[in-house]
Each structure stands twice: as C-alpha cells, then as structure tokens.
Structure 1
Amino acid sequence: MAWILDEYSKFHGHSLAVMTRKPIDLGGYLGREATTRRGVIYATESLLAEYGKSINNLTFAIQGFGNVGSWAARLIHERGGKVIAVSGITRAVKNPNGIVIPTLLNHKEAMGSLKTF
C-alpha cells in the first residue's frame, strides 16, 4: 500500500487520506485490523437505522468467511442477529434455524476451514 500511495502522490500530490491499509509510519491506523470488519457492522447498523430496524432479530447470510466475514458473523451474532448461512472458500454452511457462530468459529480455527463442519 505504501507503493500505491507513492505512485498516487507522483500524479496527484501527497495525500495520506487517499489510501487505506498503509503502514503506521505513513499515516496508517493502529487499529486497522479491526476497521473493515467493524465498518461492515457500522454501515449495516446505519442503513438499518434509516428504516427503524436493528441487527437484533433480523436474519443474515454472509458470503465470505475470512477476516471480514467471520468477524461480521460474530458481531451480528453478538447483537442478536440470526446468521442462517455463511460461505467460505471451501464450503457453504446453512441452517434455517440459525448457525451457532461461536461453534462455527471454533471449528474453523481448529480445522482451518469450514470443509468438515
């Protein structure tokens, strides 16, 4: 990302605000590992609030179960949302009654994927 920032700066002038995931010494954010995953939830909460709703008691499906998707599932679960489907690179998992996200996360951590869940 530092290289991309440098290339951008050559054409448009130096601007730290233009690029995310920069190294800390180039204006990067100390909490950057959490920003995308939390940003997904904040954006979802903001959109739902415009319609008078919240994550609590709503149903979700999540495509991608890597760093962002797995954390989104965890945060949705913690806020009372029901995750009924997730897909990862090796497998999709569904349960119309809701997936117990902590159990799925533990399985993924122990096995390295959703493949055998």
Structure 2
Amino acid sequence: MTSRMKDYLDNVMIASETFRYIADPLENGKVSVPLLVDDYRALLLFASGSIYTKGDFYGNVDFAPHYLKMMFTELMGFSTFTIVRAEGTSILPVDEEAILSKAFIEVEKAFLTLYDDK
C-alpha cells in the first residue's frame, strides 16, 4: 500500500464524520459503526509485480486489498468496493500488452457495475 493511500486514510478516518464510536462493543468486538452508508462506491486499481490471485502462498502476503476493503466497507460503510488488478508486471518475461489489456477489460466491466443502480 502506498504512503499516499495510508495518508489519505489517516485524513478521512475521522470519528463522528466517517465512523462513530459506540458505547457497548458489538458481539464481534467492534466498537464503531460506519457513517458513509448512503450508497458510496469505491473502485481500486491495483498493480503488482507478482501475481497474488492464484490461491497459492503469495495470496497470504497480499494484505493491502483486504485491509482497504475492510476500511472502506466495514469501518466507513461503503456499499461497494471493487478491485481491478494489473498483476505480474515484474515476472519475466513481462507481457505488458497482455497484462494491460486484461486490466482494461476488467476496468470496463467494473465501471459498468459500479454505476449500475441496484
């Protein structure tokens, strides 16, 4: 996760604006409720040198997407959080055209569903 993204979260996670603390913890231990619950939607464009979505060892070290999804959906209350990935940009040989082509197709699909009224 980039330092700019962390800085962004540090600046928008404001008690009584994006979330509210509650007096009694929920059953799962959570002590806050989200306040951005009016159908906010997020699309994360995520690039990585490796491939983390194969379900192998490296999926366990891919913490940023999981962390960001929790921050946006569970802590702030966004109704939709979608991730589009451009993966394998450092795996030799790099097929940049195929990687970007796949990512562009996924972005187009994501935009169609992101703005689709439910």
Q: Which has the higher contact order (CA 8 A, sep 6+)?
A: 2
Do Structure 1 and Structure 2 share a fold, with TM-score over 0.5? no
Instruction: Look at both structures and tell me which one has the larger radius of gyration over its CA atoms.
Output: 1
More helix by share: 1
